[in-house]
Structure 1
Amino acid sequence: MERVDLKPPSDGADVGARADAYAAAPLLNCLLREVAEPLAGTGERRTYRLPSGRLLRVRGERRPAEPEVRAGGDWHRVGHTELVKLVAEELRRHTGRSNGDLPTEMIDSRDAVAALLAARSRTTAPEDPYLRSEQSLITGHPHHPAPKARGGGPVASWLPYAPEAHARFPLVLLGVREDEVVEEGDTAALDALGGAPPGYRLLPAHPWQLDLVARDLAPAFADGRLVRLGTTGFPAWPTAAVRTLYEPVRDLFLKFSLDVRITNDVRRLWRHDLLRLRRTDTAVTAAFTGRATGAAWLGDRGYRTARFAFEELAVLVRDGLRDRLPPGATALLAAGLVEGFEGSPLAAATDPAAWWEAYLRQVVPPALTAFAEHGVVLEAHLQNTLVAVDAAGTPVRALFRDAEGVKLLADVDRAAGWERLVYCLVVNHLTEIAAALAEHHPGLDPWPAARRELARHDLPEIPVLLASPTLPGKTNLLLRWTGADGADARYLPLPNPLART
């Protein structure tokens, strides 16, 4: 398989050209998956027919590059700006609808990548492999039209808080008048971050979010419901989720609201999600209690907020890593393994087949068992899965996170829950890891091992999955173009590499 390398070279190559390549790859993935018709043929480039009848060809598979359109009997290279226009034209033809916002968002995503690449040239990646994996995602979601858009705000407003720029920064400490505090669950870790004056409770805030909602909070500061208490004397590190921060000394994760659209949703801690948090987290914790496989759940212990700014100032407390890792093991973000970072064990595996089998043994059984025995549908995609590796780089434990994305079969139809699990675990997760592994280790066929691992589990859905010609692929481009709610999921059939032949 031909490898298309989008990693920043060390020779000072043009940042703009690299930003174009990074931004074009996920946009092309969306276009080719959701509205294009693949044409027969082999060779270095693959050709597709678009809804307009135009022909488009690209180089590479996992991260398509160098798009060209057929016109006047010849192929013509399409830059990122022209690609955005082409996508918009094809979507108008395909859907019969217009969208003036998404093309702007695509350009914003590309410009954000350029800013991130420039910032990374002036910074050093963290020494901690876990933090390095969390902060590695320059491409980001590989099937989203604008994975790095940051709400259209000026670069100076968000770059100091960008994980991709290896940011770290102190938290703002606020005091909320006690009669205005709303909380549920275990929030004791928040009180250890600093001190609050009598009659107030401590509430940490993400500085970017505080800037975004400053006007709305002005009355609360004016009448004393809210007071500023300075900042923490230590930094926190933004993870791949941007609004979730990690403080390694205290081994503490904090998740904040962030009133910015990132991928498909405005990243706010919504009231309805917070109100069901304890029920969801309790169910998932029970599914992971006493598991012989040693898989772990990073529980969302509780939340604290202010009554007058329930969603805007909410902060969620999440379990740390250390007591959930085997001795000597290091946690790594699954999405980072796909993106690539210095020291990645996926790239360095000397026996990739054995590495992949170990990976499958850690990741697949917990997700399937949670579904089959506990009615829990994990959102087991790349950004919600950590994989602990031993000193040799071999996967030895999976850790899952984010109760907000979990569904319970008590609340959803089993078929819908299974479809979501297959999308998150197989399409979003295993397919990407398998492709990255095969790219780094040519000649490896990862799918027989995946079939064997899935077949070990006695679920009625497994034989159907292994025999089905298709898998469900989420249509992020069409969802955004049609203005669907961020929580919506619509799927189209994708070829199933697990299918028996």
Structure 2
Amino acid sequence: MHRSPTPDAEAALAAELSVVRPELSAPFAAGLPGARAAVLSRLWRALAHEPMPWIARREPGRDGLTLHLADGRRLSGPHADPYATAAYVTEVRLDGTAYDRPARLMTALAVPNGPDFAAELDHSTASLALSRAGQPGAQPEPVTSREWEQRVVDGHPYHPNCRSRPGFSVAEQIAYGPEHRPVVGLGLASMPSEECLVAGDWPKWLRDGDRVLIPVHPWQAEHVLGAGGVLGPADQEGVPAHPLMSLRTLALPDGPHVKTALSARLTSSVRDISVQSVASSGTVSAFAESMAARTDGLLHVTRTLGAVTANTPDLAAVLREPPEAYVSSEAGERVVPVAALPATGLPRSPSWMAEFTRLALTVGLRLLDLGVALEAHGQNLLVVLSSTDAPLRLVYRDLADIRVSPARLGRHGIGVPELSGRIVTDDEVTLRRKLFGSLVAGALAATAGSAPTLREALATAVRDLPRTEDLAALLDEPLPTKALTLMRLSPRTPGDRWTHLPNPLNSPAP
């Protein structure tokens, strides 16, 4: 096995772990091979399907796939199922040399911006092993949605940076990562009200006379803001909260969810909160709620209760309803983030997967036809399950990245909200990419876990759907998805980059 020099986050994390949590050192070391395979599988998917300028052509064969690089080298590995979530790639070969560590492979490829991405891959692998090492054995059945999403240990199902948390120490990952199930003490930044933009109903408990109290993530306080007298926590421990999948959004006990600004790059994006998103939060929330009402009760949107910014993306917060607001506990219902469905043991059967797919496509396509494209990936989308685990309806949260089409709204006689910026577009490609890339290539694909399972669910579900132009595009065209690795290898190219995956409905099995 090749051992070329590369950033070694695995060794650095192991050294820190031996001091911070020595009891996790052995399970961390034991988990490294599996973490490498998980990240390498995600990376191989990207290399097999994203438009890398340094890959001249791809040649499938009986035993696997060979990538012919522009410089004449060859990279070989197994057939790449674009919808697989299992860690099935344990090594690939570059001109005959085997690589089992994704960071070392990226270093050996020697492509533009590769060294920085190699460091991210190394960190992602080490952090993933840490996340897995910290899992207890037998656990009681989760009750709340936040307990379910803390079961999502491996992060993004298709991004090689699934657990990359640059700037976080081992102690901070354990203290703030949802998969470690900590209680996080939020600080409160006390700011003069005249220096803040407040939208919606900012609660009394987050006000102090003529000053506004803004919830602050402790990592943000230490690494970005600096306490410096700005922070005044409610008590020495701060406001207790439970981190959710996005890490910077937390559930308050018996209360709303709070999205905090976190100026760190997690997977691909820096998780701050723009001033514009705060200013438009109330309008977007009311509009989305009105559109959800047009789905015959199949969709609810968690309302934005209030938002505030000190006129900087680094100091802002959003309060929104918890998804439990749309669940009947008396009827035995529960609400589960779609990303956490595999942790529940679902889907248990092809019929369940088809039923869930039909529900998700019915809602997504209906809203798209009306003029709203949801970013319905497994983190934003939740499903309400009956006492027998039947999928009943959906809950959607975090409206920052939806797209709204004035032209489509107008065709249905729906008033256009006062919105501006990237959220507003009539571009058909953009609208379909937003929904299909997040819902079909994201949430549904990851729940299915493979191309054959996704194909069967889609084929069954689409039989009952209205035959719209959007459905025709979904049935007949390649499936759009974000080119997540290409984006990380193109740091100076703004905006999203896209690729197309084989349509599972009309493509042969990989």
Tell me if structure 2 keeps the 8 A contact 1:24–1:65: yes
- The residue correspondences of 1:62-461 to structure 2 (distance < 5 A) are 62=84, 63=86, 64-69=88-93, 71=95, 77-80=98-101, 83-90=102-109, 92=111, 97-121=112-136, 127-128=142-143, 130-188=145-203, 191-192=204-205, 197-215=208-226, 218=228, 221=229, 227-230=232-235, 235-250=240-255, 252-289=256-293, 291-307=295-311, 310-326=312-328, 327-337=331-341, 340-341=342-343, 343-346=344-347, 349=348, 352-373=349-370, 375-410=371-406, 411-412=424-425, 413-435=427-449, 445-453=456-464, 456-461=465-470
| Selected match of 1:31 from 35, 47, 52 | 47
Amino acid at match of 1:205: V
Deviation at 1:183, TM superposition (A): 0.6
* Superposed CA offset, 1:237-267 (max 9, x none): 11111111112422x1110110110111111
Find the aligned partners of 1:269 and 1:181 in 2 and give their Cα distance. 14
Find the aligned partners of 2:128 and 2:270 in 1 and give their Cα distance. 19
Tell me if structure 2 keeps the 8 A contact 1:255–1:317: yes
Give the match's secondary structure for 2:64.
strand
* Superposed CA offset, 1:41-63 (max 9, x none): 44xx6332242441422388413
Tell me if structure 1 keeps the 8 A contact 2:257–2:319: yes
C-alpha change, 1:127 and 1:380, in structure 2 (3 Å) is closer
Tell me if structure 2 keeps the 8 A contact 1:47–1:58: yes
Find the aligned partners of 2:332 and 2:182 in 1 and give their Cα distance. 27
C-alpha change, 1:366 and 1:160, in structure 2 (3 Å) is same
Find the aligned partners of 1:254 and 1:17 in 2 and give their Cα distance. 36
When structure 1 is superposed on structure 2, of 16-25 and 51-60 the one drifting more is 51-60
C-alpha change, 1:143 and 1:70, in structure 2 (3 Å) is same
* Superposed CA offset, 1:390-449 (max 9, x none): 11111111111111111111321233212222211221222222335967x9xx932311
In structure 1, the partner of 2:15 is none
| Selected match of 1:19 from 35, 40, 47 | 35
| Selected match of 1:499 from 493, 506, 509 | 506
In structure 1, the partner of 2:12 is none
* Superposed CA offset, 1:13-49 (max 9, x none): 812223322322222222222246554444xx63322
Tell me if structure 2 keeps the 8 A contact 1:158–1:208: no
Find the aligned partners of 1:231 and 1:28 in 2 and give their Cα distance. 47
Tell me if structure 1 keeps the 8 A contact 2:273–2:314: yes
TM-score, normalised with respect to structure 1: 0.81
TM-score, normalised with respect to structure 2: 0.80
Give the match's secondary structure for 1:242.
coil
Find the aligned partners of 2:42 and 2:132 in 1 and give their Cα distance. 17
Give the RMSD, CA atoms, in angstroms. Answer: 3.1
Find the aligned partners of 1:344 and 1:248 in 2 and give their Cα distance. 27
Find the aligned partners of 2:401 and 2:110 in 1 and give their Cα distance. 29
Find the aligned partners of 1:24 and 1:325 in 2 and give their Cα distance. 39
- Structure 2: gaps of 5 or more residues: 1-23, 407-423
When structure 1 is superposed on structure 2, of 273-282 and 159-168 the one drifting more is 273-282
Aligned length: 454
Deviation at 1:117, TM superposition (A): 2.4
Tell me if structure 2 keeps the 8 A contact 1:381–1:425: yes
- Structure 1: gaps of 5 or more residues: 1-7
Identity %: 23
* Superposed CA offset, 1:331-382 (max 9, x none): 1111122xx32x3332xx2xx2321232123211221121212x11111112
Deviation at 1:132, TM superposition (A): 3.6
When structure 1 is superposed on structure 2, of 100-109 and 15-24 the one drifting more is 15-24
C-alpha change, 1:332 and 1:91, in structure 2 (3 Å) is farther
Amino acid at match of 1:117: R
Tell me if structure 1 keeps the 8 A contact 2:383–2:393: yes
In structure 2, the partner of 1:54 is 74
